[in-house]
Amino acid sequence: MTDLTREIRDSYEALPYRSGPHYASHPDCLATVARLRGLEAPDIARCRVLELGCATGGHLLPMALVLPGSEFVGVDLAPGHIATARESAEAVGLDNVRFLAADVRELPGDLGTFDYILCHGVYSWVPGDVQEAVLRLMGEHLSEDGLATLSFNALPGSQPRDSVRGLFRFALERVLAPDAPVENVRALLQTLPPALDGVEGAFVDQLRGIASECADAEGYYLAHEYLAPVNRPFHLWEVVRDAEAHGLHWVGDAWDHDEGEGLPGPVHQLLDRLAPTPVDRRQWLDLLQDRAFHRAVFCRNERIPTQDAMDASVVPELHAGAGAWPVSDDRQDPVGSAGAASAFASRTHRVSTNIPMVEVALRRLHDAWPASLPVRDLWEASRREVRDSGADTRAPAGLDDLSDALLRCYRHHLVSLHVRPFPVQATPTVRPLGSPLARHQAGRGPEVTNLVHQRVRLGEAERRVLRVLDGERDRVAVLAAVAMEEPGEEMSEEQLEGSLEVLGRAGLLHVDSR
């Protein structure tokens, strides 16, 4: 182990990185992207998954819970991370996951092959020989039909952030006390923006943005994102070139599917001349759109995708989930009436539609959340509702029409698409079963992971209820268990129902298959 690697390991031992779910590195996400680009993907219900840089297991453990027929292996350099991950796996009773404390350059030779290899938040933060080892492992251990994902800070968008990191390094070495780096950087981020009021410039704007972004950031995030000894951004073409040397072919991005629709026509004509391959086109778009992060997906070189663009004909074989919510619920117009349009919004995008079937389908997905629906079933139900409403029968209403609309929404995170539904129960049953992992997490704090691989922050009442939802208790027994946990803190039946409804909509109630 080199001195630099030892420094990196010791930084995580001193201040552990509290990992959590990131759906863009979930086998379901990778399989969906592959299917949409013409590639078959291993069955996520019966697959082998390797995560390089698993930290405390916050990403791997929820996958092991919802995919009990699959096998998971997590590797991390920091022994403290691995100890925490093992403790959590044992507490939850997960026997399909194991964790190894090891340097990726020195892994045991009997790991075998994996259908999905995940490496999130590692590549930009390690030295070159470790980056090489990560790509070599992917090339050697990826199964024939497997998929790998590699995230990294991307250029040109990450370049301004490097300047801010440089400021922190300068200040800590020359101005501030080095014995409390996180506290000093936090103080600097609070002090500088108001002091620079009225000062304009690209660097100052970037500093203000990072100060706002990090206002409530945990200390471990500040330390490992802005004070790490290594943090190198890359152009996409550089990473793809290095991956190809290890037998890997770029499939696309796991999360960012924008193909530059908003750019003027002459720009697309220029790209057609300057971008002979999908990688070239994506690189030009990165430069034009100031991309700062990539979640690259790779397959083996011999499995080149058959589609440069996503194929809507695959959508009917998938499940769809809500990614947006209605923002015009108060409208009184009947479905499909002339001039009427409904709007739906996600955190980043908004769409309006006056196509009756699309409107009904998006509302049905919203009402079903957190469950997802088979697209064919969604189409049948939506078409039937539109027909019964007396809407304009000349409007697009075919399965192809809905598939095209869902794919457009998926590309902008207004809809989610999945190869397999998550085991989530939206409506509380007689004896509700809370996610075992979330129940364990709720005993430690308000932030838990739900069954659709998202972070959720709970109120105190919901935490108390979730902890006792073992699937054996009816409402009366749940109230009694809550009262035993918090003597003197009475909960009414009405309050319990409200908390159960919140937990159901938050994706924290598990389908009980017993």
Q: What is the pLDDT of residues 254-263, one digit of tens each?
A: 999 988 888 8
Tell me which of 141-145, 245-249, 379-383, 385-389 is least confident: 385-389
Of all residues in the chain, the percent with pLDDT exceeding 70 is: 96
Q: What is the mean pLDDT of residues 291-303?
A: 93
* Nearest-angstrom CA–CA distance, 334 and 164: 53
* Nearest-angstrom CA–CA distance, 471 and 448: 18
Give, in order, the Cα–Cα distances in Å from 285 to each of 131, 157, 271, 310.
25, 12, 9, 17
464 has a pLDDT exceeding 80? yes
Choose between 489 and 213: higher pLDDT.
213
Residue 335's pLDDT band (boundaries 50, 70, 90)? very low
Please give the backbone phi and psi of residue 256, each rounded to the nearest 5 degrees, phi first.
-95, 110
Q: Give the single-character DSSP code of 313.
A: G
489 has a pLDDT exceeding 90? no
What are 136's two structure tokens? 């070599």
Q: Are strands 325-326 and 319-322 parallel, antiparallel or unpaired?
A: unpaired
**3-state SS class at 409:** helix
Q: How many residues does the chain have?
A: 514
* Nearest-angstrom CA–CA distance, 115 and 130: 22
- Whether residue 361 contacts residue 426, with contact meaning beta carbons closer than 8 Å, is answered with no
Bond prior to 370 in cis (omega within 30° of 0): yes
221 has a pLDDT exceeding 90? no
* Nearest-angstrom CA–CA distance, 514 and 509: 14
Residue 328's pLDDT band (boundaries 50, 70, 90)? low
Give 150-204 pLDDT, tens digit per residue.
999 999 999 888 888 888 888 888 887 777 888 988 888 888 889 988 898 888 8
- The radius of gyration of the chain's CA atoms, rounded to the nearest angstrom, is 24
| pLDDT in the model for residue 146 | 97
Q: Are strands 447-449 and 455-457 parallel, antiparallel or unpaired?
A: antiparallel
Tell me which of 97-101, 499-503, 509-513 is least confident: 509-513
The residue whose two tokens read 């996520």 is 44
Bond prior to 27 in cis (omega within 30° of 0): no
Residue 380's pLDDT band (boundaries 50, 70, 90)? very high
| pLDDT in the model for residue 426 | 93
Q: Pick the closest to residue 126 from 247, 210, 218, 224 (CA basis).
A: 224
333 has a pLDDT exceeding 60? no
| pLDDT in the model for residue 338 | 39
Residue 513's pLDDT band (boundaries 50, 70, 90)? low
Residues 6+ apart with CB under 8 A from 211: 189, 190, 192, 193
The topology (CATH level 3) of 3-154+233-257+291-300 is Rossmann fold (3.40.50)
Q: How far is CA 56 from the centre of its chain?
A: 17
Q: What is the pTM of this model?
A: 0.93
* Nearest-angstrom CA–CA distance, 342 and 347: 17
- Whether residue 154 contacts residue 286, with contact meaning beta carbons closer than 8 Å, is answered with yes
Q: What is the mean pLDDT of residues 77-89?
A: 96
Tell me which of 33-47, 168-182, 315-329 is least confident: 168-182
* Nearest-angstrom CA–CA distance, 116 and 51: 8
Residue 37 exposed, middle or buried by CB count within 10 Å (0-12, 13-18, 19+): buried
The residue whose two tokens read 């590699």 is 150
Residue 392's pLDDT band (boundaries 50, 70, 90)? low
| pLDDT in the model for residue 337 | 43
Choose between 424 and 3: higher pLDDT.
424
Q: What is the mean pLDDT of residues 64-92?
A: 97
What are 153's two structure tokens? 């800070």
Q: What is the mean pLDDT of residues 307-325?
A: 91
| DSSP assignment of 255-268 | S-----TTS-HHHH
What are 63's two structure tokens? 């996958």
* Nearest-angstrom CA–CA distance, 254 and 113: 21
| pLDDT in the model for residue 240 | 97
Give 102-126 pLDDT, tens digit per residue.
999 999 888 999 999 999 999 999 9
The residue whose two tokens read 């994902």 is 149
Other Cβ atoms closer than 10 A to 323: 23
332 has a pLDDT exceeding 60? no
Q: Could you tell me where the DSSP H helices lie in 347-458?
A: 356-368, 375-389, 399-411, 436-442
* Nearest-angstrom CA–CA distance, 453 and 506: 11
Strand 71-76: give its sheet, edge to edge.
97-101, 71-76, 48-52, 114-119, 142-153, 293-300, 248-253
Other Cβ atoms closer than 10 A to 407: 21
| pLDDT in the model for residue 327 | 86
| pLDDT in the model for residue 244 | 96
- Average pLDDT in the chain: 91
Please report the beta strands in 54-160, taking only residues with DSSP state E, as ranges in sequence order.
71-76, 97-101, 114-119, 142-153
Q: Pick the closest to residue 439 from 454, 451, 425, 426 (CA basis).
A: 451
| pLDDT in the model for residue 341 | 62
Give 132-141 pLDDT, tens digit per residue.
999 999 999 9
Residues 6+ apart with CB under 8 A from 273: none
